[in-house]
Amino acid sequence: MSMYSVPANHPLRFTLNNEVHARPCSSLYAPERASHLALKLDAGQKALEREALAALCERYIHPPPAPGADHFSADLGDFRVRWEQHNEFSTYTFLIQGPFENPFVETALGMVPDDWLQSLPGELMVGLHAAIVKMGEEGADLDEISPLFADNTLVGAEVSGGAAQAFTDFRIHADGFSRLLMVDRHLRSRQAGRLLQRLFEIEVYRMMALLAFPTARKLLPELNDADQRLLKITTAMSQSDSDEAELLDDLTSLASRIEHSQSSTQFRLSASQAYYRLVGRRIDDLREQRITGIQTFREFMDRRLEPAMSTCAAVERRQTMLSKRIARTSQLLRTRVEITLERQNQALLESMDRRARLQLRLQETVEGLSVAAITYYAASLVGYLAKAGKAMGWAVKPELVIGVSIPIIAGLVAAGVRSIRRMVEKSQ
């Protein structure tokens, strides 16, 4: 109980604080054997592995993992087990403390029930047998340990500031497992546990990083083909007689193809870079010192892993750049189509304007003819009236009356037509 009066705790305060203390490394004492499994799982299989862990605990009369836990450690008597669940995979480490003759024949996994191992869900990504042996400051004799690795080329170094040596060949042997040997010069128990965990993680993260390499190699021909199609489209765009609508359809199809490819592979390619960075950090944590005559872990990764990761990174960048180029080309093509449409619309408007002017002239002509016709008929009526007046004895000359009335009638009719036209224009 706190003796201070402080504000209420954030709901996640203790969870976040305890997160940095989660998954503590085991305390190890040479001689020790370990077997490490990394299984790639989907969401459904993660629930099944909890059931498998509970069944193992029930068999050895041990409390199962807490609901929702993502790590678990237990001493089951015959062996110790450590389980960790990650985003894409889960790891199992089985440990046995005590003397042995050949750690890669008398393995820790040999003490685990075989039927239970077969019940584990997921696909095996890493299977690794490891051993910790105690030696003096002189360390291991390479000629003596080489047969443990079938005389393959060794990779190793002095690690943890010279407190230990670590050796492997990064190969899968006839039993389906890789091999790792740690030579304890003067390691502390927790230090030994951290070192073994880092070596396991280097192998797991290395394999997870390489998952993207087949995908990247498969994408290369597709990207080359897409690049050539884009080149043809851009070349056709530079020609004046090209069909913009057809080019736009081709470009849209290409864009959807690249977008589908990118969305389906982006996670895997990005994850590979994240795993590769973790490999580098774990190697940094080893604090390697060279052993004359063999490659260090860093040198091996630089020569064997980095080219594959560079390919994955190059494919990811190329995908992104190709997508951007297609977007720019699409924008240019749409701009060209819009300009063409604007020109067509401008020509159409000019044509409509010409027709409107012709209609106006025609209308003015018709109005003039209408004025003449109305004047003619009105003047005729006046003439008939004048003749009727003359017949009645009026002193008028019909011809003179008609002649005088014509300009008056014409002026009045013209004024009336203009007035009607103004009224119609205002109503519009």
Range in 66-75, 146-155, 186-195, 217-226 the model is least confident about: 66-75
Over range 185-197, report the average pLDDT.
Answer: 93
| pLDDT over threshold 70, residue 15 | no
| pLDDT over threshold 50, residue 403 | yes
Over range 56-68, report the average pLDDT.
Answer: 91
Query: What is the chain's mean pLDDT, rounded?
Result: 87
**How far, in Å, CA of 109 to CA of 95, rounded?**
8
Over range 174-202, report the average pLDDT.
Answer: 94
Over range 52-78, report the average pLDDT.
Answer: 91
Give the residue from 62, 80, 87 showing the smallest Cα distance to 25.
Answer: 80
- Written as one string, the DSSP assignment of 238-285 is TSTT--HHHHHHHHHHHHHHHHHHHHHHHHHHHHHHHHHHHHHHHHHH
Determine the pLDDT at residue 317.
93
Determine the pLDDT at residue 10.
77
- Written as one string, the DSSP assignment of 123-174 is EEEEEEEEEEEE--TT---HHHHGGGGTTPPPEEEEETTTTEEEEE-----T
Over range 315-327, report the average pLDDT.
Answer: 91
Q: Indicate the pTM of the whole model.
A: 0.77
Helices 212-237 and 189-210 sit at what angle, rounded to 10 degrees? 40
Over range 343-349, report the average pLDDT.
Answer: 82
Dihedral angle sign, alpha carbons of residues 392, 395, 399, 402? negative
Determine the pLDDT at residue 192.
94
Determine the pLDDT at residue 300.
95
Model confidence at 422, pLDDT cuts 50, 70, 90, reads confident
Determine the pLDDT at residue 116.
95
Determine the pLDDT at residue 379.
75
**How far, in Å, CA of 163 to CA of 122, rounded?**
36
Model confidence at 1, pLDDT cuts 50, 70, 90, reads very low
Range in 12-21, 219-228, 379-388, 410-419 the model is least confident about: 12-21
Specify the DSSP element, H or E, that contains 83.
Answer: strand 80-85
Determine the pLDDT at residue 22.
57
| pLDDT over threshold 80, residue 121 | yes
